[in-house]
């Protein structure tokens, strides 16, 4: 299969590498920044362009791997005569954003991807959707070649997965940062809490999260909670987060 990749960042890099490993041909890389397009094209040994009007128009698949905000402009500027399957890999963008094309869909990996970090693709449940049964079947087969955990889901379900990913990844990470700053303020190393981070992450691999919930909120230990709140009395934002999360834990007891 001949593939054009629009984008040169983290997702574009990983998809390009995986497509090549599966035996597909990357025939062109597009990026609005020529240097970025050239860099990924060099790595994947294919031509590059920074002009959407110069896209190869007879490819089988066009993967739009850019930020959500950039998708509409790219879609609007891509040549109208493309007959290949045009897909994006966004979790929060509706498939309908691609409706100006005859064949379109989505292949979304709920995973943080970084260019320089090896990712176990087989562990990622790719989420696919096509504008018709044939395209959906094709995308699911393609995703299953990446990972046997891949599934079909519609745009609403994909948005739920994306939001859940933000909660467990981005939100948890800012809590790690709060903890890092609190420990640093008291001349303590973040290494002290790294083991409990791993322990919690391992528990939820095999349990529903609330069933392994621990801490003062689930025990309704008001004395300890008040000590905590007093300890961070100079951090009103952190106090508010602490109270909101503690309330949500207690109500699920």
Q: What are phi and psi of 207, to 5 degrees?
A: -135, 155
- pTM value? 0.87
**pLDDT score at 80:** 82
Fold match flag (2-153 vs 158-251): no
**pLDDT score at 120:** 86
d(CA 59, CA 82): 8
**pLDDT score at 115:** 79
d(CA 228, CA 223): 9
Residues of the chain under the 50 pLDDT cut: none
**pLDDT score at 117:** 78
Beta bridge partners of 48: 29
Which CATH architecture describes the domain 2-153? 3-Layer(aba) Sandwich (3.40)
**Three-state DSSP class for residue 237:** helix
Indicate the helix (H) or strand (E) that contains 156. Answer: helix 155-165
**pLDDT score at 112:** 83
**pLDDT score at 81:** 85
CATH 1.10.1040.20 fits 158-251, yes or no: yes
Boundaries of every domain in the chain: 2-153, 158-251
**pLDDT score at 124:** 92
> How far, in Å, are 60, 91, 177, 226, 250 from residue 152 at the CA level?
21, 13, 35, 46, 35
**pLDDT score at 40:** 96
């Amino acid at each position: 299969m001949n593939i054009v990749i629009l984008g040169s960042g983290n997702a574009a890099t990983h998809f390009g590498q995986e497509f090549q490993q599966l035996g597909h041909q990357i025939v062109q890389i597009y990026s609005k920044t020529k240097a970025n397009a050239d860099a990924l094209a060099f790595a994947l040994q294919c031509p590059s362009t920074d002009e959407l009007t110069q896209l190869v128009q007879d490819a089988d698949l066009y993967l739009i791997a850019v930020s959500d905000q950039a998708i509409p402009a790219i879609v609007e500027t891509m040549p109208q005569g493309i007959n290949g399957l045009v897909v994006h890999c966004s979790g929060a963008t509706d498939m309908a954003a691609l409706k100006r094309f005859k064949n379109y869909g989505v292949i979304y990996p709920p995973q943080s991807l970084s260019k320089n970090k090896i990712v176990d693709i087989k562990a990622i449940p790719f989420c696919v959707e096509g504008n018709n049964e044939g395209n959906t079947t094709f995308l699911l087969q393609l995703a299953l070649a990446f990972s046997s955990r891949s599934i079909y889901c519609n745009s609403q379900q994909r948005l739920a997965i994306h939001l859940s990913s933000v909660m467990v990844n981005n939100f948890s990470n800012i809590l790690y940062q709060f903890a890092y700053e609190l420990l640093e303020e008291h001349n303590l190393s973040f290494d002290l809490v790294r083991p409990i981070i791993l322990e919690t992450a391992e528990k939820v691999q095999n349990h529903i999260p609330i069933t392994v919930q621990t801490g003062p909120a689930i025990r309704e230990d008001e004395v300890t909670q008040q000590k905590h709140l007093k300890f961070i009395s100079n951090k009103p934002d952190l106090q508010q987060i602490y109270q909101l999360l503690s309330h949500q834990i207690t109500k699920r007891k």
